[in-house]
Structure 1
Amino acid sequence: MPFEEQLSDSLRRTGDSFRLDDRPALVEGGLRRGRRAILRRRTAAVTGSVVALTLVGFGGAYAGGMFDGGGVHRVSVAGPSESGPRAVTGDQMVKTLKSLLPGGKLTKTAGRGSGGAPPPLAYGVYDDGQGKGAISLVVDRISPSAVAQFMKESGCGSAVMVRHDSCTAETLADGSWLKIDKGYEYPDHRAETKDWTASLVTPEGYRVDVSEWNAAAEKGAPVSRPEPPLSSAQLKSLVTAGAWKPVLATLPAPEKQSAGGAPESGTPDPSAASVQKALLQSLPKNLKVSGRGSQDGYAFAVVNDGKGESLVQINVQRKMSDVTPQGDRTTLPNGTVLGLNKQVGEKGGAGVVQWTADAVAPDGFRVVVSAFNTGDQASAATRTEPVLTLAELKAIALDPKWRKLR
């Protein structure tokens, strides 16, 4: 199949896979709310074809000090014109990426330029003589008002929810924020494909994000080397290179946005602290809490009643009236649609099950709470059933206190 057809097919299949009624993805999306429009991750590049990166949340940079540092290649991919910076092409994006790599070859390339709604990107399969590794890079821009929340919600995260070998996040001298995450494509390690990322965002909202794998494709390709080709230092140099400055200069000023890229409007999600506190108060008093975490609109707790650990997590969302709860559905007298569902866990842990209560009110206010029979979805079950029954999950989901959170 020609590359263009592979790309088109990949984009179509990826688009079909993002469903607003995909409850498990939305629940887990609480930890990645800054990337909510994307429901993660760098959706499959199939045997060298670039994928639906338009759906991905990206990190990045543009601050003058960060892009003017020494030791990086400088490539003028676009120059100013009377009407402002000229748009760059996909070919220019690829050439810039290639110029910043430490030797080797970049093949099976694809790129997208500026001037349209999807952000510019460059993709290729890099080979430094020690094995092929796919690399993708995207530049983007968010509202400065969303930067603080983006950094908060895009951090390294709890080890309970994110499996990785290492993750560091730091604020650089110019105020830009850099995260380098060395993780895996599959949290259950069904394949040893590693996914290393470097993400940078500046105070002005300019973002650059790069991902690399130790295989010739994100998914569907065998591991070709022990680790992805670029080291942490090389990833940092790549996202902070001054060569991206002309590209970023072509990006239009965004609307005032939330961290997830959507215009801000209406009442914000309840704070991380309030959701965490309310969740713990909703749990039976005999449970021992061994782990917890939260962000705005989301919280989780790892609890134990003496019969094994169990993960409980909750999302409190607004404007979700287009979502249909899954499982056994009933419509309550006040118009709230309630779904109760039992299903197999989706993170690959042996014997893991997930029980969920999902309540969507007529005005779109949604509370979805799940419990697992393990403290870590990617690890094997630690008990026969989750610590909470469906009846208990239902009571939590329908509790009016969630609307009172600020």
Structure 2
Amino acid sequence: MPFEADLAHALDRTTDSLEPDLTALLSGAVERGRSRRRRRRGAAVVAGVGACGVMAVAALVIPGALAWTRPAGSDLETVALAMPRSAITGTQMIEALKETLPGGRFSRMTGQSNNPADPSGGYVANGGLIVDDGHGAAMVGVSAVRLKLPLGDGDGLSCARTPARAEGDTCTLSQLPSSAAVPGGAVVMSERNAAEHPVRADTAHRWTVTVTLKSTGAQLQMVQWNSTGGGSGADTPKPTRAAPPLSEQQVVAALTGAVWSPILGAVG
């Protein structure tokens, strides 16, 4: 997803639950970035972590923070965010992300807190960074939000809601059964998108995995680039590695594991 789409997604997530027009968040968004809300879930995950990084970061992670706009002619309901159960700091998000990527060297770290006590402060918590695990630098970000129940066909819940994908881009859905770690089960949405089309040998890619708990609506989204992320189309930094730091299975295991459990509980 190009940077503008990522940013839009981040803004959407950030403002989903906000009543007035609050599109001011993003400084620390990580790229839950998603072609969808654009997709606009311009995920506030790590799409950039610096002055432009603020926006880039926003592009990285932020699941469906805003009640996104229903496509023209669609019979799908919009999806809105619910108030988090307790506050999560940007520092918590960054530390959890670092624990998820042990052994790496980190830079350009950024985080954003949610604020359950003040809707204008945003309902999205996120963190993003650049990690070098010895296989090349990569931008990685995670955002945390809570969707209103009952869950509908919204962000992170349906590949049909994403924009038409270009050749080579993918989106799949799967289910996690109920367990002690995931009471009530969860929906897992996995996406792979190229930064530009047609895809070339030096085109960067973004991998997005979204885990949504069915019982609470708590949702975590991780976005990974095989580059330092940010930019748009051909302006996106070139690949520094062939694959993201974590596989889809590793991401799901991490987001439903001990490191992220406190954050899932705080959100939902």
Asked if residue 179 in structure 1 is aligned to residue 182 in structure 2, the reply is no
Aligned counterparts of 2:111 and 2:62: Cα–Cα separation in 1: 17
Deviation at 1:171, TM superposition (A): 1.0
What letter corresponds to residue 159 of structure 2 in structure 1?
G
Residue 133 of structure 1 aligns to a residue in which SS?
strand
Aligned to 2:94: 94
1:124-170 deviation line (CA, Å, top 9, x unaligned): 0011101000001001111112x231279632779963444554311
Describe the shift of the 1:157–1:113 C-alpha distance in structure 2 as closer, same or farther (beyond 3 A): closer
Deviation at 1:96, TM superposition (A): 1.1
Aligned to 1:154: 158
* Total equivalences in the alignment: 202
What letter corresponds to residue 87 of structure 1 in structure 2?
A
What letter corresponds to residue 176 of structure 1 in structure 2?
A
Identify which of 201, 204, 217 aligns with 1:193: 204
1:248-299 deviation line (CA, Å, top 9, x unaligned): 4434x7xxxxxxxxxxxxxxxxxxxxxxxxxxxxxxxxxxxxxxxxxxxxxx
Aligned to 1:131: 136
Aligned counterparts of 1:97 and 1:56: Cα–Cα separation in 2: 12
> What is the TM-score with the length of structure 1 in the denominator?
0.42
Larger radius of gyration: 1
> What is the TM-score with the length of structure 2 in the denominator?
0.62
| Structure 1 contact 180–232 (Cα < 8 Å) conserved | yes
| Contiguous gaps of at least 5 residues in structure 2 | 12-33, 66-83, 116-120, 179-184
Aligned to 2:226: 214
| Structure 1 contact 35–57 (Cα < 8 Å) conserved | no
What letter corresponds to residue 135 of structure 2 in structure 1?
Q
What letter corresponds to residue 45 of structure 1 in structure 2?
G
Aligned to 1:242: 258
Between Structure 1 and Structure 2, the one with more strand by share is 1
Aligned to 1:233: 249
Deviation at 1:223, TM superposition (A): 1.5
Aligned counterparts of 1:54 and 1:128: Cα–Cα separation in 2: 22
Aligned counterparts of 1:214 and 1:33: Cα–Cα separation in 2: 17
| Contiguous gaps of at least 5 residues in structure 1 | 1-9, 19-31, 61-83, 254-406
| Structure 1 contact 156–181 (Cα < 8 Å) conserved | no
Higher normalized contact order (CA 8 Å, seq sep 6+, divided by chain length): 2
Describe the shift of the 1:229–1:156 C-alpha distance in structure 2 as closer, same or farther (beyond 3 A): farther
Alignment of 1:105-120 (within 5 A): 105-115=105-115, 116-120=121-125
| Structure 2 contact 48–58 (Cα < 8 Å) conserved | no
| Structure 1 contact 143–205 (Cα < 8 Å) conserved | yes
What letter corresponds to residue 194 of structure 1 in structure 2?
H
1:282-318 deviation line (CA, Å, top 9, x unaligned): xxxxxxxxxxxxxxxxxxxxxxxxxxxxxxxxxxxxx
